[in-house]
Homo-oligomer: A and B are copies of this chain.
């Protein structure tokens, strides 16, 4: 039995909020403690983010599917999972949750509630990175959709752990998280003017992976309604 839409949207709000709080908060903590060692700061950021994804997908997956990401919601809708009519509510929950997470991170570290990031992130290498990062993320999600539910949580957490390091952009791969990161002028931030390019590359990467897997796994659309994690209460 699928949870009501209101419950699922609250789950998306909370999950995306805790995810963004992790991305931004661990970036702040990493930068404060690392004493200028950029690799150490990114390693802390990486381990925290990958671990948070495992925990949050396991926890919220059975309620809402644990998308936390408009590209995932759109891909899921393309394959007949979440209804197209529900998708805007999912995306709103994700974007608002992400913003709330950014505010929470700022407040925990006693920074201004919101500070617009000045961090430039652009250029061809960055955009190619976001395309590949999101292509890989959706490939992992679709590839796992026929496995036991908890495998997806570990696969996504592990994938992002890798992608923080193998892409030049540290793999945002998520429009809601990208918008939220603009709200904190700290390690994980991004200048507002660079946000649209990132989102375009993410959408393109997610669409490419979804179309490819539609061919590669013909039975996919039957499984789609359960992305990221089967959310019918059984496991």
Residues in B neighbouring A108, C-beta threshold 8 A: 125, 128-129, 132, 166-169
Most chain B beta carbons < 10 A, residue from A41, A45, A58, A141: A58
Q: Does A116 contact B (CB under 8 A)?
A: no
Nearest-neighbour CB distance to chain B for A219, whole angstroms, equals: 7
Q: How far does the Cβ of A127 sit from chain B's closest Cβ, in whole Å?
A: 10
Q: Can you list 9 pairs linking A and B with CB atoms under 8 Å apart?
A: A40-B40, A45-B165, A51-B159, A55-B156, A55-B159, A105-B166, A108-B166, A110-B123, A148-B150
Annotate A114-139 by CB proximity to B: 1 below 8 A, 0 otherwise.
00000000011100110010001001
Q: Given A21-B166, A46-B47, output 8 extra A-B contacts at Cβ < 8 Å.
A: A7-B217, A22-B165, A35-B38, A51-B157, A55-B140, A58-B155, A110-B168, A154-B154
Asked if residues A147 and B149 are in contact (CB atoms below 8 Å), the reply is yes
Cβ of A129 to closest chain B Cβ, rounded Å: 5
- Are A39 and B48 interface neighbours, CB within 8 A? no
A interface list, Cβ under 8 A from B: 3, 7, 10-11, 14, 18, 21-22, 24-26, 29-30, 33-35, 37-52, 54-56, 58-63, 104-105, 107-110, 123-125, 128-129, 132, 136, 139-144, 146-159, 161-162, 164-169, 212, 215-217, 219, 233-235
Counted per complex, copies of this chain come to 4
From B3, B33, B140, B166, A25 is in contact (CB under 8 Å) with B166
Whether B39 lies near A165 (C-beta < 8 A) is: no
- The docked-state distance in angstroms from the alpha carbon of A46 to that of B40 is 14
Instruction: Please judge, given known A-B contacts A11-B216, A140-B58, A143-B59, whether A44 and B39 are in contact too, CB under 8 Å.
Output: yes
CB distance from A29 to the nearest CB of B (A): 5
Nearest CB of chain B from residue A57's CB, rounded to whole Å: 9
Q: Are B55 and A155 closer than 8 Å at their CB atoms?
A: yes
Distance in angstroms between the alpha carbons of A120 and B69 in the assembled complex? 39
Contact check, B60 vs A143: say whether CB atoms are below 8 A apart.
yes
Give A108 to B132 CA distance when docked, in angstroms. Answer: 9
